[in-house]
Amino acid sequence: MNAKRKSMLNSAIVGRAVKDSFIKLNPIAMMKNPVMFVVEVGTAIVLLMTLFPGYFNAKDDIGFNLTVFFILLFTVLFANFAEALAEGRGKAQADSLKRTKKEITANKMTGSTIKVVPSTELRKGDIVIVSHGEMIPGDGEVIEGLASVDESAITGESAPVIKEAGGDFGSVTGGTRVVSDRIVVRITSDPGESFIDRMIALVEGAKRQKTPNELALSTLLVSLTLIFLIVVVTLGPIAGYLDIDLQVPVLIALLVCLIPTTIGGLLSAIGIAGMDRVTQFNVLAMSGKAVEAAGDINTMILDKTGTITFGNRMASEFIPVGGESVQSVGEWAAIGSLQDETPEGRSVLELMKKLKLNANESLAAGGEFIEFKAETRMSGIDLKDGRKVRKGAVDAVKRWVVAQGGAVPKDLDSHGDSIAREGGTPLAVAVDNRIYGLIYLKDTVKPGMRERFDELRRMGIKTIMCTGDNPLTAATIAREAGVDEFIAESKPEDKIAVIRREQAEGKLVAMTGDGTNDAPALAQADVGLAMNSGTIAAKEAANMVDLDSDPSKIIEVVSIGKQLLMTRGALTTFSIANDIAKYFAIIPAMFILAIPEMSVLNVMSLGSPMSAILSALIFNAIIIPLLIPLAMKGVAYKPMKATKLLRRNILVYGIGGVIVPFIGIKLIDLVVHLLV
């Protein structure tokens, strides 16, 4: 998967980008980028002067005009190529997603009968049955059963995930495959409105809108373009009044070199590439605004259950009482859990494997499994040899043992109270009238959470955990996870309140969650990151969806957001700094014959006025494709203070933006001067 994510370019994407570069020459499309539209208009004017030299009185300049035309044309094409290349990977992914939408059938329940229908006929509210090996025909929620689902078509991850009825892990996506068991699914979307349909539209960029920062920068670029356009338009008449003959192609060359064509040609590519980089990390961004906002996040609100923790209380320790051993507690707990399909039951068997303990599973053969009931608060198994194994709430197991004439170990209550104080749940394990020990159940923090939160802290982002648990349990989880603050016994409105409080202080807030109760907060946050394993409501409320259901993925999202802002700022600085060198190349070339004193400005000692103008134009054109890899990859983000970041930006891209064109134009002139 990593190799797939890192694969930025291939022949198919490049080929499509080349084709789209010409399609984007459509003036209606070009008008969306005012800077490059001005260049295209200038290109058209030079072309007309080349085709009809007599009309424009330019017979002696056909060769020069033709050369200028091709350089300007390639300037526009290179800018279009940058945008098309950035869009290319999204379109390639969209094509892949469309292939997963091949026509499949669904086992639709109609009353007491099952009817096989095309998936396109399914509507919201329909009930379907999906068995082993079958594709899930549409987005929905599991209302009955438990199954392992292969979501690789959506997430790219090969490991299947467990989907079960109830709770926050019952959401399924159309196009995924059931690899074990059987589930009953209620469809939650109509045709064309499914999650995969939204993914296709989003990765194709059809709904991409410019962010506020991008709009502000676009306004700056348009303003600079208008200023230079006014200057160049008035320069011709002024020069004519002074008996200096300035040809229109030369004025157009001056305009194109002075307006910010570099950043103008790369601006769209930077925004699209930012959204695409998020997609490469299996995060679906609903808008570029969300990616950009992530770069300025100050506070992150996290739901606990299913986000920081696995969401199910799992066995973490076997605690013997009354002189018993860990082996004996584990063995009887495992025998009582062999037929227990609940998350707690399965976790007991996993803990046995982890501790490398053995259990005589043959004892359970032919036994009668006793399911958990609210009345008894216990589950277990009645063995064929007459023994009865029970595990459940401590008080319930105590009463059951005493009823059979057994005694309660003296250290049982103290161990049980200790587990409860740490926020865990104790389950007692007994066989007939004898209690062997306790199973320590706790909501386990996902691996690597502490390290990830430490990283967020270094980035200057405060983490706040919200949970409905009591303060004791919340404090334990917060300590294990390493979050900065926690809010216990929180309700949906409490999460919204803390987000609004942070926003009122001028902070940008991110929220991660997966449950229906998280939906209001996800909608309120500046960046709402929903887990793909969560509910439909959570995913619809968020402006990002993590297909891997990894809450710490927000670190990558934040880094990409900061990278997007830094890349845009760096290339803008570089583009504007370029104008200094191009000024010293073209201005002397325009006036040196009429005003010999202007030669003092020819600091690059360029060969001739014609070669100077052409060299500046060529550099202006080729710098765009040379900067495409940087626009696509982004400027590397390293946590640092704003002043240090600004100083680094000016030194690298400001001074570099002045030096590079001086060198580049001079080298190009050495070749061009020989040719002209």
Any known ligand binding at 421?
no
Highest mean pLDDT among 11-15, 41-45, 471-475, 672-676: 41-45
Q: What's the mean pLDDT in 226-243?
A: 85
| Integer angstrom CA distances of residue 608 from 33, 433, 464, 590, 670 | 33, 105, 65, 10, 10
Name the phi and psi angles at 443, rounded to 5.
Answer: -75, 110
Written as one string, the DSSP assignment of 336-400 is TTTT--SHHHHHHHHHHHHHT----GGGGTTPEEE---TTT-EEEEE-TTS-EEEEEEHHHHHHH
Residue 630: predicted pLDDT: 86
Count the Cβ atoms, other than its own, within 10 Å of residue 241.
8
Q: What is the mean pLDDT of residues 290-311?
A: 78
Helix (H, G, I), strand (E, B) or coil at 259: coil
DSSP 118-177: EGGG--TT-EEEEETTPBP-SSEEEEEEEEEEE-HHHH---S-EEEESSTT--EE-TT-E
**What pLDDT digit, counting tens, does each position of 17-63 carry?**
888 899 999 999 888 888 999 999 999 999 988 888 767 665 557 88
Element (H, E) at 214: helix 212-241
Q: Which residues contact 460 (CB under 8 A, 6 or more apart)?
A: 298, 639
Mean pLDDT along residues 511-519:
77
pLDDT at 562 over 80: yes
pLDDT tens, position by position, 382-425: 998 889 999 988 988 999 999 988 899 989 989 988 887 776 78
Q: Are strands 509-513 and 485-487 parallel, antiparallel or unpaired?
A: unpaired
Does 377 show up as a binding residue in the annotation? yes
> Of 20, 139, 303, 526, which one is the catalytic site residue?
303
20 is in an annotated binding site: no
Computed over every residue of the chain, the mean pLDDT equals 81
Q: Is 376 annotated as a binding residue?
A: yes
- The number of residues in the chain equals 676
- Cα(328)–Cα(132) distance, rounded to whole angstroms? 37
* Type of residue found at 120: T
Residues carrying CATH 3.40.50.1000, the chain: 286-308+446-547
Ranges for all domains in the chain classified under CATH 3.40.1110.10:
313-442
Q: Give the HSE-up count for residue 592: Cα atoms under 13 Å, Cβ half-sphere.
A: 19
Instruction: Return the CATH superfamily for domain 313-442.
Output: Calcium-transporting ATPase, cytoplasmic domain N (3.40.1110.10)
Instruction: Say how many Å lie between the first and final Cα of the chain, rounded.
Output: 52
Other CB atoms within 10 A of residue 479 CB: 13
Alpha-carbon 625 to chain mean position:
26
Average pLDDT over residues 660-674: 89
What pLDDT is attached to residue 144? 86
Residues 6+ apart with CB under 8 A from 4: 156
Q: Does pLDDT of 339 surpass 80?
A: yes
Q: What sign has the CA pseudo-torsion 633, 636, 639, 643?
A: negative
Q: In the CATH hierarchy, which fold is given to the domain comprising 286-308+446-547? A: Rossmann fold (3.40.50)
417 belongs to the catalytic site = no
